[in-house]
Amino acid sequence: MGFAAALVSMIVGGGIGILAGYFGGWLDSVLMRITDYFMVIPLLPLAIIVSAVWGAEVQNTIFVIGLLIWTTTARLVRAEVRSLKERAYVRRARSIGAGHLRIIGRHVLPQISPLLMANMTLAIASAIFLEAALAFLGLGDPDAITWGKIIELGFVRTAVSAGAWWAIIPAGLCIAFVVTACSLIGQAVEDALNPRLKISHLTPRSFRLASIRRQSAQEDLDRSMPASQPRALQSTQEVR
């Protein structure tokens, strides 16, 4: 359910972000104002209302969650597309008569795919957490067994007061582990698909270690240089 909801979120948010960032103008203003409205509305109360209106089936829950967590994807994709459409190769493609669909499919989508993949893994974590919250409040599919449903059944049957921790804690730990894993996987995917962003995730300790390694490598390189080479460089500088 989390994967399906994240896919819906990526399709909706990615499409809105591409349209707003590429075409700009009044379309950008309209789509971003709609995005702002969805961003300021609290997710959980809106999800409760929509789930109560549409029903508690699995497909309804997937669409409800996917249609509520697309705003971050839309904002990120819009900013990236606005930068990409000003690149030289996009301008050249436009100048030789390439259409909008070809430019988007050939030049824009391949460039934003790392961002979409990384953001999708983060959306999976949000979708799992939101689904667990809905199931715990009794708004999930009663026939579907999920971690949120397990916790909800444990509370309904007074597992807390009875001291039956095994009815609640394992499901809660699974949610926490999966959400954390999705966040780490999203960061790893972003690093793998866009190596230029690796430096942004370095901790201060890792940054210091990287600096020490570079300094050691430079010192080894200096020691391995022949003795005549520095003299030649010095004589060259004197001639200049």
Does the pLDDT of residue 17 top 60, yes or no?
yes
For residue 128 the two structure tokens come to 């799992």
Question: What is the extent of the structural domain holding 88?
Answer: 2-193
Helix (H, G, I), strand (E, B), or coil: what is residue 168?
coil
pLDDT at 212: 66
Is 60 exceeded by the pLDDT of residue 234?
no
Residue range 82-98: mean pLDDT, rounded: 84
Whether 206 is covered by a domain: the verdict is no
Tokens of 190: 């972003």
Q: Chain centroid to CA 27: how far?
A: 24
Burial class (CB in 10 A: 0-12, 13-18, 19+), 35: buried
Among 79, 69, 66, 68, which Cα is nearest to 17's? Answer: 79
- Domain for residue 13, yes or no? yes
Report the domain count for the chain. Answer: 1
**In this structure, are residues 201 and 191 in contact, taking their beta carbons and an 8 Å threshold?**
yes
d(CA 93, CA 6): 32
Please give the pLDDT value at position 71.
Answer: 87
Report the pLDDT value the prediction gives residue 226, as an integer from 0 to 100: 55
Does residue 230 fall inside a structural domain?
no
Residue 200 lies in a domain: no
Q: Tokens for 46, please give them.
A: 């809106």
H helices present in 157-227, as ranges: 159-162, 169-193, 204-224
Compute the distance between CA of residue 69 and CA of residue 9 in angstroms, rounded to an integer. 6
Q: Is residue 84 part of a domain?
A: yes
Q: Is the pLDDT of residue 232 over 50?
A: no
| Residue 102 domain-assigned (yes or no) | yes
Mean pLDDT of 33-61: 79
Residue with tokens 């690093």: 191
User: pLDDT tier at 67 (50, 70, 90 boundaries)?
Assistant: confident
Percent of the chain with pLDDT over 90: 1
Sign of the Cα torsion 207, 209, 211, 213 reads: negative
Of 20, 124, 110, give the one whose Cα is nearest residue 74. Answer: 20
pLDDT tens digits, 137-175: 877 777 777 888 888 888 877 777 777 778 788 888 888
The answer to whether residue 216 sits within a structural domain is no
pLDDT in the model for residue 222: 67
| CATH number of residue 168's parent domain | 1.10.3720.10
146 within domain boundaries = yes
For residue 145, give the DSSP letter: -
Residue 199 confidence (pLDDT) above 50: no
Q: Are 28 and 82 in contact (CB under 8 A)?
A: no
Q: 198-225 burial string, b = 16+ CB within 10 Å, else e?
A: eeeeeeeeeeeeeeeeeeeeeeeeeeee
Residues counted in the chain: 240
The token pair at 106 is 């050939």
User: Where does residue 111 rank: exposed (0-12), middle (13-18), buried (19+ CB within 10 A)?
Assistant: middle
